[in-house]
Structure 1
């Protein structure tokens, strides 16, 4: 049972990363409002593919909650009815959560697929929830963490609705991302706790402390990066999508902190790599950390010096989440090595 639990947890973690990637694709394509409502899309479970599906037409059956675009505004059907030859406003009411009334089939389906991946994530999470009770007598912590993870996933779903209702308010998008990292961390913890592999790393007190510092530094970098992204999103709203050269023309203090602090992050992780290699401590995942950091720096420089080339911003975000996950797992490895040393 524990082995099956671990496999499902790994599937869930992969899906969390896919959700982050899907969200990044939504961001880079500007598809965040492809579906103006939530959880449906223009009032449909399967999104429309042509604008004619969300326009008023005579002698057509409309269902309660379906949304159409009328004079650049969203109108919601208040009941089931069949339209007559003339448009009757009494059958409709304005959609008041936001005023974004644009239809782009590509944006709609990209956003819909993003939501679909999130729904699929819920399936293994529910299976984990059920399996965790079979492990309750053996390890209560697994059950408690699993239940809390599912609870946080529910909060994340509600936040997804709020993000849409607030027309992609940058602050809400940032909170959405931070909660995704929390879910990721809990799944990584569950994977590590249910793993039957014996530890192959050596305990080193200085390394554990440095690992913790590196993890906190990376988390701080992510938070600073989120603030920079909020500023960029604000600039996009003000200046437009095609004005990349001006998005960071007058950056905030958080940008300079984020850029300068990256030097410290590289230094700390380089020291980790040096100590791991010198004393043969066995933390092979440090190789991934250094590769991710290298590509992360390149993508960051590309955004600033090459005016946000295509996919550089979402790549930067996805790499940050990968770095977060690998470093967190390394901390768990170090703590396990410490416990193993005490039992000898």
Structure 2
């Protein structure tokens, strides 16, 4: 019996060691948790909107005027309240992952300022999102505030992906692995994907699934903004194909070619979802799937850019007891 009780305790201790006495691989794993958490809360935010639960908790920071947690309310569906409150709770998952990244980055030996700066984005972003979330509620889901809410998550996701990539690299100046023009093509692709995400926000703020009957909409023609969105999609896919072709012709490193191929596959799948949801009058399930696809396109795009350069390998520890030595040095 004592052996069974010791197992969870040892797992907690080992988990704590990955934060308090981390190796680079530990920080990388926590950064991956941050990527998943940020992508996850972005998708659940879409679920809040498509289920009409945007004002399931009509006040902020409380769920109802007299309670921080859901309580029976005559004018609000219990399901909508549960969906919105559940999304708010996921903020704490993102915060825990962000704090773990920050502590691990600050405790890493040797400490690297670039990793610490990237890690700070996560808890700072959660604080910004919490305050902005209050504005979203108080504005009755104004499409501008809702759109900015999504874009802040996209920024936090970018920082988490960057932290994940940098944690496995050295601290040397960036060394190009491909021709300068190919790197420029990668930057142009990243900018195009960013524009695509903004256009997606405009389409979302113009179309159905506002999150609540009280929510306002952009006064745009939905057909026009949808076509503009599709035009940017064609641009992104074209740039991706051009980048993939250039990488293969120049025999670029395999990781870069593989990352570009994965990105193209994700984009094509996302395009299929987009057209299907358009012709089926934007069903709620496909909207959520489309938002998931958007986050994956963004993640894969950033992975391609990081694969086009190198900052050298991590320095090997002086001996096999680096974690114990770093812990002893701090105590």
- Cα gap change, 1:145 to 1:286, in 2 (>3 Å): same
Q: Measure the CA separation in 2 of the matches of 1:237 and 1:122.
A: 27
TM-score of the two chains, using structure 1 as the length reference: 0.73
Equivalent of residue 305 in structure 1, options 279, 298, 305: 279
Q: Measure the CA separation in 2 of the matches of 1:162 and 1:290.
A: 37
Q: Name the residue aligned to 1:189.
A: 162
How far is the alpha carbon of 1:235 from its aligned partner? Answer: 8.1
* CA deviation map 1:191-225 (0-9, x unaligned): 1111159x9x9423232111111111111111111
Unpaired segments of 5 or more residues in structure 1? Answer: 55-68, 70-101, 241-246
**Is 1:219 aligned with 2:198?**
no
Q: Name the residue aligned to 2:38.
A: 16
What are the residue-to-residue correspondences of 1:139-218 with 2, within 5 Å?
A: 139-195=112-168, 202-218=177-193
Which has more radius of gyration? 1
Bigger RCO of structures 1 and 2 (CA < 8 A, at least 6 apart): 2
* CA deviation map 1:61-115 (0-9, x unaligned): xxxxxxxx5xxxxxxxxxxxxxxxxxxxxxxxxxxxxxxxx31111111111111
Aligned residues: 281
* CA deviation map 1:42-73 (0-9, x unaligned): 2334423xxxx33xxxxxxxxxxxxxx5xxxx
Q: Name the residue aligned to 1:274.
A: 245
CA RMSD of aligned residues (A): 3.0
Q: Name the residue aligned to 2:301.
A: 327
Q: Measure the CA separation in 2 of the matches of 1:238 and 1:4.
A: 45
Q: Measure the CA separation in 2 of the matches of 1:333 and 1:234.
A: 37
Q: Name the residue aligned to 1:294.
A: 268
What are the residue-to-residue correspondences of 1:48-63 with 2, within 5 Å?
A: 48=71, 53-54=72-73
TM-score of the two chains, using structure 2 as the length reference: 0.76
How far is the alpha carbon of 1:144 from its aligned partner? Answer: 2.1
Q: Measure the CA separation in 2 of the matches of 1:137 and 1:330.
A: 28
CA contact (8 A) 2:41 2:90 kept: yes
- Cα gap change, 1:227 to 1:136, in 2 (>3 Å): farther
Q: Measure the CA separation in 1 of the matches of 2:208 and 2:168.
A: 41
Q: Name the residue aligned to 2:67.
A: 44
Q: Measure the CA separation in 1 of the matches of 2:198 and 2:109.
A: 35
Q: Measure the CA separation in 2 of the matches of 1:263 and 1:156.
A: 31
CA contact (8 A) 1:34 1:109 kept: yes
